[in-house]
């Protein structure tokens, strides 16, 4: 009986520690944030509003999707230049190319020199995804 209690306690402590560590790690700034913001600004935000770091980190990978254009039909979507689709920094693209998106509906950009589209999730959809990820 004492052995099983000890094992259960150790498992509980391990799970609790893992959950605590996961929440802490999400507040460490993604290196891509330093491509957009000054180090001093990021440090200030870490202290004054750590949730914003979490939100930005999540935004970098979840605010958009990249899809193939259907049937290769030309579109009238605005064009965005993305040099490396595997190492995208959506915040840097917004800053350098003036990309915008809508709270109510998805926004679509055609990626130059490809048959791909950059599809921003609506602000509502992004907020729902973030809320689910934080549970």
pTM, full prediction: 0.76
Compute the distance between CA of residue 41 and CA of residue 38 in angstroms, rounded to an integer.
5
- Average pLDDT, whole number, for the chain? 84
Please state, in angstroms and rounded to a whole number, the distance separating the CA atoms of residues 131 and 36.
24
> What pLDDT digit, counting tens, does each position of 10-31 carry?
344 444 444 444 444 458 999 9
């Amino acid at each position: 009986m004492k052995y099983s209690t000890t094992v259960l306690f150790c498992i509980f402590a391990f799970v609790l520690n893992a959950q605590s560590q996961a929440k802490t790690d999400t507040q460490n700034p993604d290196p891509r944030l330093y491509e957009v913001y000054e180090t001093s600004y990021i440090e200030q935000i870490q202290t004054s509003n750590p949730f914003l770091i979490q939100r930005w980190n999540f935004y970098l990978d979840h605010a958009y999707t990249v899809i193939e254009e259907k049937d290769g039909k030309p579109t009238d979507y605005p064009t965005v230049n993305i040099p490396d689709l595997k190492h995208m920094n959506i915040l840097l693209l917004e800053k350098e190319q003036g990309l915008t998106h809508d709270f109510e509906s998805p926004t679509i950009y055609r990626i130059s020199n490809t048959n791909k589209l950059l599809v921003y999730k609506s602000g509502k959809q992004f907020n729902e995804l973030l809320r689910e990820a934080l549970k």
